Structure 1
Amino acid sequence: MAELSGWAEAILFVPYGPRLRSYRKLLYQTLNPRATLEFQDLQIQEVKKLMKRLLVHPGEFLDHAKLYAGAVSIRIAYGHTARDFNDEFIQGAEEFMSAVSEAILPGRWLVETIPSMRYIPSWFPGATFKRKAEKWAKMTAKHRQGPFDYVLKHMIEGTAEPSFTSKLLEPADGSQVSESEKEMIKIVASHLYGAGADTTASIIQSFFLAMTLYPDVQFKAQAELDSYLTTKRTLTIADREHLPYTHGVVMESLRWHPVTNIIARRTKEDEVVGEYIIPSGTYVIGNLWAMLHNAEIYRDPCVFKPERYLGDEPSPDPAIYGFGFGRRVCPGSHIGLQSLWLVISNILANFEISKLRTSDGEEITPGEEYTSGILSRPLPFKNIIKPRTMAARSMVDEVEI
C-alpha cells in the first residue's frame, strides 16, 4: 500500500541505503544540537501561546498540547504560523498521518499478502484498496507541494521565516541546490509534522496526567523553580542545567508511559545471537516498554520518580531508548527534548495542576489509562489547571494568540 499510495520514497518506508542516508544528512544539518538552538525563539513563542490557552480554556489542556506540538512542527518545517486546528497546513498533515495509520495496519490489506493484486483496475469489484491508494497518492502530492511552494514564495519575497526548508534551499555556503536535492527536501519536510507533533503532544499529555496524580512531584519541582527564579520570566534551555529536579520531571515524562511501546527493525544480513541465527530480512521487535520499565534499571518503574535521575548513581537517560536506536534513531531528538523542556518547565513555573473534587470535597483521581494504537497517549481525563500567582496570571495574560 505504501508504494501504491506514493510513499515508496517517504522517510518512513524507504529502506536503509543511500537515499535514507541522504535524508538523515538533511535532518542533521538543520536539527543538530547547535542548529536546534536557532529554533528556540519560535518554540518559546508557541509555549507562551499554549500557556495563554491554558489560562483561557484550562479544561481543553489535551487539545492545547496537541495544537502546540503541531504548530511548532509546522513552523520548524516551513516557517508558517498555525493558529488553530483549522489551519490548512495542520489539516493537510493530519489527513496524511491518518492515511498512513490506516495503510500500515497489519492484515488490513489483502494486496500486502498477494502483491499481484496491485494490477487490478481501480474500477474492479473489491478493488477498494486501489481507490484508496489513488486518493492517498493525490493527497500526498498536495501535502508535499503546497507548503513547499509557500516557502519558495516567501523566500522570493524576502519574508520567509527561517525553517528547515528555507535553510536547506539556501545553504549558508551559497552552493546551488539541485532538483533532486529539492525533491528530497520536499519529502523530508512533509514528514516533520508526523515525526514531531503526535509524539511531543503525547508526552506533554502524560506530563499533565503525572502532575495530576503526583502532587508531591509538582511541589518539589516548583520549590526548585521558585528558589532559582529571582524574577518572573520565561525559562529557556540555558536554565536546564541549573534545575536538575525539573529536568528529571522532563526525563520521567519520557519514560513513565512511552509514546511508542515497540519498534520494528529488519536485519540486512544473517545475525548470530548466542545460539540463535536470525536470517536476513527478519523483523526484530524492540520492546521499549520493557526496556523503560526494567525494575533492575528503573526501581519502582511504574511510579513517576524524577529523583531517580539524581544522585551519585542516577538511572540511565530514557531518551537513549525513547527516541529509538540503531541506524533509524530519531534525528529530531534534540529539537524534541528542547521543546519538552520549554513546555514543562514553564508550565510548572506558572501553573498549578490538581485533581477535581466532588461536591463533598473528595478528590477525583483519574485513571492511568492509555490508547493501544501505534502511538500511545492518555485517554481523556479531567483536572484543575490554574495560575499559581497573580504575577503568573498577568505575565501569561499579556500574550496575544
Structure 2
Amino acid sequence: MTQAPGHGQTLPQAEAFARIRLLRSPNVGPVTYRQLMARFGTAQSALEAMPDLAARGGGRYRVAGADRVSAEIDAVRAAGAKYLFEDSPAYPALLREFPGAPPILTYRGDISFFDRPAVAIVGARNASAAAMRMAWEFAAALAGQGRLVVSGLARGIDGAAHEGALSAASGGTCGVIAGGIDVVYPSQHFDLQQRIANEGILIAEQPPGVEPQARHFPSRNRIIAGLCAGTLVVEAAPRSGSLLTARLADEAGRQVMAIPGSPRDARARGCNELIRDGAVLVQEPDDVAELLDGFTGNPRSHFREEAPEPFVHAATAESEADSDLDIAALLSSAPVSVDEIIRLSGANTPTVQMALIELELAGRLTRHAGGRVSLTS
C-alpha cells in the first residue's frame, strides 16, 4: 500500500490512508468527515460503517477505492507536496477554529510560515493600476513586519499582494489554490506560483489534478479568511468573491478592513459598501498592523446583521413531539439551519446529526454554508 506523505505525523500510515479515503468518498465534506470521526473514532471504522448508514438513509453507498487514493498519494509526492492533517501541530491554529475548515490539506513550501501572524489581502481581478500598486505596497510593508500575506493567486489584487510580500526581505506569502496542488491557475501565474512554493507556501484542499471550477472558489475563499486574524479588501465589485471572503471572516469573528475608493468607480463600490456595513476603513499599512497586533478575537469591524429568513414547515405540533419523527420530513429544497431541525424534531443533537449523515451518504441531503441543509434537488 502506498504511504501518505505528511508533515511530522505521528499518525499511523494506515489511518492516514483511511482518512484520505474517507474525505474523498462520495458526499463526504468537512462537516460530515468530522462527525463520522467523532462518532467512530477512526477513519477505518467510519469507512466500514458508511454503507449501512447510507442504507438507513434510503440509498446505496460505495466508499472511494483504495487504488484511487494510492494514485492521489503518488501524484502528491510527484508534485513535491505533502499532506497536512488537521490534528497535526503544524496545522494553522486559526484555520482549525474556522467553521468547516478542511480536515486535510496538501502543501508545497515552508510550513513554518504558518507560525507567523497572517493577514489576507484580496480584491478585484480587473483591478485598477492604482489599486494593484496599493496592494503591492501594503503586502510588502506587512510582510516586512514579519506577517504572512495570504491571498488566492488570482489576477489583479491577489497577484499584486503575493508579489509585494515576496519583495520584502523577511517576507512570506501563502497562495491558496482553488484546484489541486499541481495545477497552475491562472496560467500566467506559473512563475509566481513556483516562486511562492520556493519562497513561501502553497496550499490546496482539492486533490491533485483537479482543475478549478466555479464551486471551488468559495471554498478557497473560506480558507483564505480562516487562515487570518484579518482580511483586507483593496478593490472589489459588489457581490464579488472578495466580498464573500470578507463576509466569511466577519462571521468567524475576524477583523475586516477595506480601503475606500471613489464612488464614481464601480470597482470601488464593494469596498465602500463594506465600510458602510461595518468594515474598518484603513489608509496605511500601519492601520492594519494596529488592528491586528494583539488581536484577541474582538474585531472593531462589526457588520449589520440581516434578519434571518423564517423557516415555516407544515409539520404540526403533534409531529414535532413524536420521538419517531422522520428527519427527512422536516426538510425541503429550501436550506434551513441544523439547529432549527433539532428544535422542530424534538430529538437530541446526536440523533439528528446521525440522521442527516445517513441522508447525506444516501445522496438525499445537501449541506450549505452557515450550517444549513436541504434536500438534494
Which TM-score applies when normalising by structure 2?
0.29
Q: Of Structure 1 and Structure 2, which has the larger fraction of its residues in helix?
A: 1
TM-score (norm 1): 0.28
Structure with bigger RCO (C-alpha 8 Å, 6+ apart):
1
Higher strand fraction (1 or 2): 2
